[in-house]
Amino acid sequence: MIGLVLFLFGVIVTLAMCCVAAVSDFRGFRIPNYVSLVILAAFVVTYGGLTVLGHVDVAFRPVMNHIGAALIVFVVTLAMFALKQLGAGDSKFATVIALWVGLQGLIPFLFYMSLSGGLVAAFSLVLKRKKLFASPAEGSWIAKAQEGHPSVPYGIALAVGALFAFVFIGYFNFSKWEAVF
């Protein structure tokens, strides 16, 4: 029971930080560093706690599976950052989400992230042409899009990708915890 509570706490904290990142990126194209640090800490505490309790295999794969996914995403997003195609906050945020989803959830994460990122980008194009909002908040994504800036708040897509990857992996499938009780 304690393992399930610990796991749920880690997942809820992570998804809450995903919401914070998405809203912050929407409002001003910035994902605060504390978001990635809290998600990292939630993973370390959850994985470590479940390891101590002997239930880590109920929720997670071996730790190198998760670290490998994070390293892959970090290297790719670092290159994108160097080419000025992605912000540093997006890179850090994507890396810690990849740590949570591991290699088994990396493809679903990237798929849903790309799909939702495409939708956000398409909506940016609509905003650029139609000017749907009379007086959006200064500096927000909507204001910038209506002014014609090409930037897209990719933190929104990363958060959506994380949620769908968590569902795909089975983080909300609690039947596997029945064997523990």
User: Alpha carbon 36 to chain centroid distance?
Assistant: 9
Rounded distance between C-alpha atoms, residue 158 and residue 137, angstroms = 23
Stronger pLDDT, 137 or 39, i.e. the higher one: 39
171 is written with which tokens?
């983080």
- Would you say 170 and 45 are in contact if contact means Cβ atoms under 8 Å apart? no
pLDDT of residue 124 exceeding 60, the answer is yes
Provide the pLDDT confidence category of residue 165 given band limits of 50, 70 and 90: very high
Question: If you average pLDDT over every residue of the chain, what do you get?
Answer: 93
pLDDT at residue 139 in the model = 84
Q: What gap in Å lies between CA 163 and CA 168, rounded to an integer? A: 9
User: Which helix (H) or strand (E) segment is 13 a member of?
Assistant: helix 2-28
- What is the crossing angle of helices 2-28 and 88-130, to 10°? 50
Question: Are 16 and 176 a contacting pair, CB within 8 Å?
Answer: no
- Least confident among 65-69, 128-132, 157-161: 128-132
Task: Name the amino acid, one letter, at 15.
Answer: L
